[in-house]
Structure 1
Amino acid sequence: MKLIPYEKFEINSDLSSVEVAQRIENCTGKKKFFNFSHTHEFSGHVNENAFEITKNISYRNSFLPVIVGKIKQTDLGTKITITMRLHPIVICFMLIWFTGVGIGCIAFFSIMDEFSLPMLIPFGMLIFGIALVSGGFGIEAAKQKKRLIELLSKH
Structure 2
Amino acid sequence: MPLLPFDNFRIDSALTAAEVHNALAAAVEPRKRFRLSRGQCPFEGELGIDSFTLTRIINYRNSFIPRIRGRIITTSSGSTVEGTMSLHPAVLWFMSFWFGLLILFGGGIWVSMLAKGVWQPMGLVPLGMFAFGWTLTSGAFTLEARKARALLTSLLAPGQTPTLTAHTAPTPTR
TM-score, normalisation: structure 1:
0.94
Which residue is 2:158 aligned to?
A: 154
Instruction: Indicate conservation of the 8 Å contact 1:3/1:133, yes or no.
Output: no
Residue 89 of structure 1 deviates from its aligned partner by 0.9
* Deviation >3 Å, runs of 4+: none
Counterpart amino acid of 1:71?
I
Residue of structure 2 equivalent to 1:19: 19
Partner of 2:82: 81
Q: Secondary structure at the match of 2:82?
A: strand
Aligned match of 2:32:
32
CA distance in 2, matches of 1:90, 1:118: 28
Matched residue SS, 1:39: coil
Q: Which residue of 2 aligns with 1:72?
A: 73
Q: Gaps (5+ residues) in structure 1?
A: none
Post-superposition offset of 1:34: 1.0
User: Quick check: 2:110–2:123 contact (8 Å CA) kept in 1?
Assistant: no
Q: Let me know the Cα RMSD of the aligned residues.
A: 1.3
- TM-score by structure 2 length? 0.85
In 1: Cα distance, 2:34 partner to 2:127 partner:
36
CA contact (8 A) 2:28 2:45 kept: yes
Instruction: Say whether 1:143 aligns with 2:147.
Output: yes
Gaps in structure 2 of 5+ consecutive residues: 160-174
State, as a whole percentage, how many aligned pairs show the same letter: 35
> How many residues of Structure 1 are paired with residues of Structure 2 in the alignment?
155
